[in-house]
Amino acid sequence: MSCFDADPNFCPECGTILPLPGTEDIVRCPGCSFCIPVAEFNGLEVCSAVIFNLVEQLSLARNKEEEDDSELKGPVIDRHCSRCNKEGMVYHTRQMRSADEGQTVFFTCIHCRYQEKEES
């Protein structure tokens, strides 16, 4: 027996979830080989619940994800926007043509969200 008091579903020595009692007289921890008699589980009641998410909660979560995606991401560089003439643009690159040609750089103004592209 262990010196520690723990939830009966967990090994009091290493914290591993104990397997369900089977046909043997003992339950053996798969993590540390700690043994506990099956009689220790007599009278224990296991309760569980299933909680379904409401449709409204799912749509709110999706809307929040879409708002997060609309936020500009990437490094800000010192480049003037050709539309608003303010400095500060975010860029990202994509390989739009064949692999032996250069990447296309897309710039987005952090102020007016105007997009420019530069092919190299």
Give tens-digit pLDDT for 13-46: 888 888 887 788 888 888 888 888 888 878 877 6
Asked whether residue 71 is assigned to any structural domain, the reply reads: no
Answer whether residue 97 is part of any domain: yes
What tens digit of pLDDT does each residue of 63-115 get?
665 554 456 788 889 999 999 999 999 998 888 888 888 889 999 999 999 99
Please state the residue numbers annotated as binding site: 11, 14, 29, 32, 81, 84, 109, 112
Going by the annotation, the residues of the binding site for Zn(2+) are 11, 14, 29, 32, 81, 84, 109, 112
> Is 84 a domain residue?
yes
Domain span at residue 88? Answer: 76-119
Counting other chains too, the contacts that 2-6 makes at CB distance below 8 Å and 24 or more residues apart are 2/34
Count of domains observed in the chain: 1
In a domain, 47, yes or no: no
In a domain, 102, yes or no: yes
Scanning the chain, the segments in alpha helix (DSSP H) are 55-70
Residue 80 sits in a domain whose CATH number is 2.20.25.10
Q: Is the pTM of this model over 0.75?
A: no
